[in-house]
């Protein structure tokens, strides 16, 4: 099997790459070739099991998608995106990368399909940002998409495209509405939600972290480990049970900031919690009030998707995967 990861240099892309190299099996198929593509050169992990090819490329360049699809990968993971804060700050860049790049990819598949009957599995990384306030809690699977950011709007449009191209038999698409991925390893990115990871990640290694919102803010989370699991399952599952509603809200953990902090206290003690410095930011707080507090995710659960069930599990996954099991 030939697989392609677009956005392979991002955090989830790197984690997915590592996982596929460790276990190059998707369902009953063995991965023999893996292409890694991103606007910055993806890391080239050492491997002797499969053919690994890395390419620096910008999907929003209309010539790139056709080149990638000419190789006819059977499974395509489309993870490339400009994150929420950056998409809001740079309107043109957000639409060029998040929408135009996705459309270019889908159309490249369509042209190859029309020529040769090519019909790959496409796993699209969407976002819970496709919904917006006023929001019930928990949010049912049938809740309408009313994004309140440009990023959410771009993802919602791509979800419609994914469903329509799948309906027409061009590809077999699954849209994964990712919760906020927490705890993100490495340095903070430009996502407006980055503080959710920061108030846990930094104190776990003895560093100060800034909390810009009240303790009462509630949101929906899953670990990087779960995000990789979502992608794997979407790539190999029987899509016959999904039906025409191809975009799924993933399971996760609903928690307030206060509950996050208490989970940190239980695992790392008072000393870690004392490293959290409160610096209220009215703009970030106002933005957070429109974010999803939590989902029922009944459809995803019934289809076999799984995530953590409490925040201690999320913190422990970070400790095991990033801190060598030592807090």
Which phi and psi angles does 97 have, rounded to 5°?
-80, -50
Locate the domains of the chain by residue range: 2-178+223-250
pTM of the complete model beyond 0.85: yes
Q: How much is the average pLDDT of 125-139?
A: 94
Strand partners, 26: 29
Alpha-carbon gap, residue 130 to 22, rounded angstroms: 33
pLDDT in tens, 44-100: 888 778 999 999 999 989 899 999 999 999 999 999 999 888 998 899 999 999 999
Rounded distance, CA 119 to CA 60, Å?
Answer: 22
Kindly state the percentage of the chain with pLDDT values over 70: 99
Q: What's the CA gap between 61 and 24, in Å, rounded?
A: 30
For residue 279, with 0-12 CB atoms within 10 Å meaning exposed, 13-18 middle and 19 or more buried, which class applies? exposed
pLDDT digits (tens, 9 = 90+) for 194-225: 999 999 999 999 999 999 999 999 999 999 99
2-178+223-250 placed in CATH 3.40.50.720: yes
* SS3 assignment for 221-283: EECHHHHHHHHHHHHHCCHHHCCCCCEEECCCEEEEHHHHHHHHHHHHCHHHHCCEEECCCHH
Q: Judge whether 314 and 221 are in contact, CB under 8 Å.
A: yes
Active site residues: 151
């Amino acid at each position: 099997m030939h697989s392609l990861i677009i956005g392979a240099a991002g955090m989830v892309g790197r984690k997915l790459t590592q996982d596929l190299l460790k276990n190059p099996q998707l369902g009953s198929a063995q991965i023999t070739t893996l292409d890694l593509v991103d606007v910055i050169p993806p890391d080239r992990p050492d491997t002797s099991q499969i053919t690994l090819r890395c390419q620096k490329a910008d999907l929003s360049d209309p010539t790139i998608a056709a080149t990638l699809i000419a190789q006819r990968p059977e499974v395509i993971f489309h993870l490339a995106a400009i994150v929420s804060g950056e998409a809001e700050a740079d309107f043109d860049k957000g639409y060029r990368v998040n929408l135009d790049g996705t459309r270019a990819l889908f159309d490249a598949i369509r042209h190859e399909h029309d020529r040769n009957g090519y019909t790959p599995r496409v796993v699209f990384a969407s976002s819970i940002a496709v919904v917006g306030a006023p929001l019930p809690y928990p949010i049912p699977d049938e809740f309408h998409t009313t994004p309140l950011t440009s990023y959410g709007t771009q993802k919602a449009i791509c979800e419609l495209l994914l469903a329509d191209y799948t309906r027409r038999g061009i590809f077999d698409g699954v849209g994964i509405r990712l919760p906020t991925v927490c705890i993100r390893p490495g340095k903070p990115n430009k996502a407006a939600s980055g503080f959710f990871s920061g108030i846990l990640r930094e104190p776990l290694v003895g560093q100060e972290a800034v909390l810009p919102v009240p303790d009462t803010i509630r949101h929906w989370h899953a670990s990087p480990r779960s995000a990789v699991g979502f992608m794997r399952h979407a790539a190999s599952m029987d899509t016959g049970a999904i039906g025409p509603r191809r975009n799924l809200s993933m399971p996760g953990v609903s928690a307030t900031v206060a509950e996050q902090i208490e989970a940190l206290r239980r695992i790392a003690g008072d000393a870690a919690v004392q490293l959290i410095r409160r610096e209220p930011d009215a703009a970030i707080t106002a933005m957070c009030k429109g974010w999803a507090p939590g989902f029922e995710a009944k459809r995803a659960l019934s289809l076999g998707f799984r995530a953590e069930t409490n925040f201690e599990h999320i913190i422990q996954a970070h400790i095991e995967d990033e801190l060598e099991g030592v807090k």
